[in-house]
Structure 1
Amino acid sequence: MRVGTVREIKNHEYRVGLTPESARELVLHGHEVWVETGAGMGIGASDEDYKAAGATIQPDAKTIFDGAEMIVKVKEPQAVERAMLRKGQILYTYLHLAPDPEQTKELIASGVTAIAYETVTGPGQNGQVSLPLLKPMSQVAGRMSIQAGATALEKAHGGRGVLLGGVPGVLPGKVVVIGGGVVGFNAAQMAVGLGADVTILDRDPDVLERLGIHFESRAKTRFSNQANIQQEICDADLVIGAVLVPGAAAPKLVTRDMLKCMKPGAVLVDVAIDQGGCFETSHATTHQDPTYVVDGVVHYCVANMPGAVARTSTYALNNVTLPHALRIADRGWKAALAADPHLAEGLNVHEGQVTYQAVAEELGYAHRPVADVLRG
């Protein structure tokens, strides 16, 4: 199979779909790899590095979109990229379709077979499924959320002027993490490490128990409901939104009315912004212009947070995306999905039909089950 990766064109996105090492693995499996010139510069990988791995450097994205059977990216295709997709082609990348009706419409129109990293599942604990292709970026984003929030709290960036860890004789900053999953756990780890006063809210008693055992007295846990969220954010210096419903739009857990009680210069970091955000007042921002203020509260809502640490993020992402890419390339998408029900969960759009139920329900499309697609 001819597999292509292109330079990411989303604002301040420096990651790349394939590292030179991943390109080499595909070549060793007998596949042809095309890489757009300069695609790896954001992670310090030159065209020569890709050539040494056996890849072919192409002059522009159009050449790759026109010639590749599978496109491997990081972020959702932008409008100019969606216009180059075609029926019979495989797109393998993050999509986050539920809050993005325009992208969904254009992927449907293109006829492409679109496999989304964020809905590929894996075995989890206690019979639960995991999201292994989302996990490493959730780990990065969770850790970065505290870093970004600490910066936004600085007076020069519009914040309250609070140091999260405090100093002797001065109380530390109060951090509230809404959601105790991968993002929330990693955010709490970073905040605890800085010496902040940390509270984590979640609705799952098992999650709360696990967090309590891990953090002991270093972080508090609390059941997540509207009353408790309201009470906690009123006292907070920094609030991290870390709630995820796989494949669906994030629930709006903090309303605009709830902001009235927050301290002027307090900071909200919405890590769920890729799925529409879990604060009512959230809208996507970029690394170039990351924050805005609503009712005196600073909002940080960058939709590709891990792109700022592109090298770490790209290698962490390739560790989990490459095995599936190899299976798709080796067997073809249909056989690969039929052999692996976890990978099959990643199919979101196929030849003009929505194949992921949460996306279909959110955006009002008829849902065609993946099992029907694989039988057809």
Structure 2
Amino acid sequence: MRIGCPREIKNHEYRVGLTPESVHELADRGHEVWVETGAGLGIGASDAAYRDAGARVVDGPEPIFAECEMVVKVKEPQPEERARLRRGQVLYTYLHLAPDPEQTDDLIRSGVTAIAYETVTGPNRTLPLLKPMSQVAGRMSVQAGATALEKAQGGRGVLLGGVPGVLPGKVCVIGGGVVGFNAAQMAVGLGADVTILDRDPEVLERLGIHFESRAKTRFSSKANLEDEVVQADLVIGAVLIPGAAAPKLITRDMLGRMKQGAVLVDVAIDQGGCFETSRPTTHAEPTYVVDGVVHYCVANMPGAVARTSTYALNNVTLPHALRIAELGWKRALAENPHLAAGLNVHDGHVTYEAVAQELGHAYRPVDEVLG
């Protein structure tokens, strides 16, 4: 199969879909890999490194979208990229379609077969292709929140860990999944006063056993959520409904009761955000203020630590890329129901139920496509 890896063009996105090591794996199995010139510079991978790994380095994205059977990316295709997609081509990347009707419409019109990393499943309802970026984003959320709390950044001027004689900052983590767990680990490590909210008693029990007295857990009822949010210096939104838009858990009304200069970090912004006042931002301008509360809503947080993120991502995406390349997308999905769960759009149809429901499109089941 001919596989293409274009340079990412989203604002301040430095990751790349394939590392030179991944290219070597694909080329070693007889596949042809085209990489756009400069695609790996954000992770310190030169064009020469890709050539040495067996890739053909091409100028611009046009040859890749025109000639390659599968396009491997990191972030959702931007409008100019979507215009180049074509029927019969496989797109393998993060998509996050539920809050993005324009992208969904463009993918439907293109006829492309779009496989989304974030909905590929694993055993026990896990999301293995989302997990490494959730780990990165969870850890970065505390790092970003701690910076935003500095007075010069518009925050309260609070040091999360405090100092002897001064209380530490209060951190509220909403959601006890992968993002929330990693955020709590970082916040606890800094010495903050941490509370994690979740609605699943098993998750709360697991977190309680892991953190013991270093972090508190609390059931995420509306009353408990409001109580924690108004006391917090830093609130991290870490909720996820796979493939669907995130619920709006913090309303505009709650902001008026929060501390002035408190910080909200919305890690769910890729799925529309879990705060009513959230809107996507970029690493160029990561924050804005609403009612005295600082909002950090960068939609590609892991892009800031591109090398770590790219290698962590390739560790989990490459095995599926190899299967698709060797078997063809249809057989690869038919033989692996976990990979089949990643199919979001195919030949003009939405094939992921949560996206179809959220955006009002007709739903075509994956089994029907494969059958």
TM-score, normalised relative to structure 2: 1.00
Q: Report the counterpart of residue 95 of structure 2 in structure 1.
A: 95
User: Counterpart of 2:41?
Assistant: 41
Give CA-to-partner distance per residue, 1:155-204, whole Å, 9 cap, x none: 00000000000000000000000000000000000000000000000000
Q: Pick from 286, 291, 313: which aligns with 2:282?
A: 286
Q: Distance in 2 between matches of 1:234 and 1:103?
A: 36
**Unpaired runs of at least 5, structure 2:** none
Output aligned runs, 1:118-197, within 5 Å.
118-124=118-124, 129-197=125-193
**SS of 1:3 mapped into structure 2:** strand
Question: 2:369 is matched with which residue: 355, 362, 373?
Answer: 373
Mapped partners of 1:7, 1:33: distance in 2: 14
Output the amino acid matched with 1:37.
T
State the distance in 1 between where 2:149 and 2:76 align: 30
Q: Indicate the residue corresponding to 1:67 in structure 2.
A: 67
Task: Kindly provide the amino acid, as one letter, of the partner of residue 52 in structure 2.
Answer: A
Q: Does 2:252 align with 1:256?
A: yes
Where do 1:280-319 residues align within 5 Å?
280-319=276-315
Other-structure match for 1:320? 316
> How far, CA to CA, are the matches of 2:109 and 2:348 in structure 1?
6
Give the Cα separation in 2 of the matches to 1:359 and 1:13.
25
Query: Equivalent residue of 1:261, what SS?
Result: coil
Measure the CA separation in 1 of the matches of 2:173 and 2:361. Answer: 34
4+ residue runs over 2 A deviation: none
- Counterpart check, 1:81 vs 2:45: no
Q: Give the letter aligned to residue 305 of structure 1.
A: M
Name the residue aligned to 1:343. 339
1:311 & 1:367 partners in 2: Cα distance? 37
Q: Deviations over 1:204-242 (max 9, x none)?
A: 000000000000000000000111110001100000000
Partner in structure 1 of residue 56 of structure 2: 56
* Match of residue 5 from structure 1: 5
CA distance in 2, matches of 1:160, 1:187: 20
Secondary structure of the structure 1 residue equivalent to 2:256: helix
TM-score by length of 1: 0.98
CA RMSD, 1 decimal: 0.3
**Structure 2 CA distance, aligned partners of 1:257 and 1:225?**
17
Partner SS state of residue 121, structure 1: coil
The residue identity in structure 2 corresponding to 1:255 is T
Matches within 5 A, 1:226-241: 226-241=222-237
Name the residue aligned to 1:225.
221
Give distance in 2, aligned partners of 1:358 and 1:334: 22
Identity %: 81
Code of the aligned partner of 1:61: P
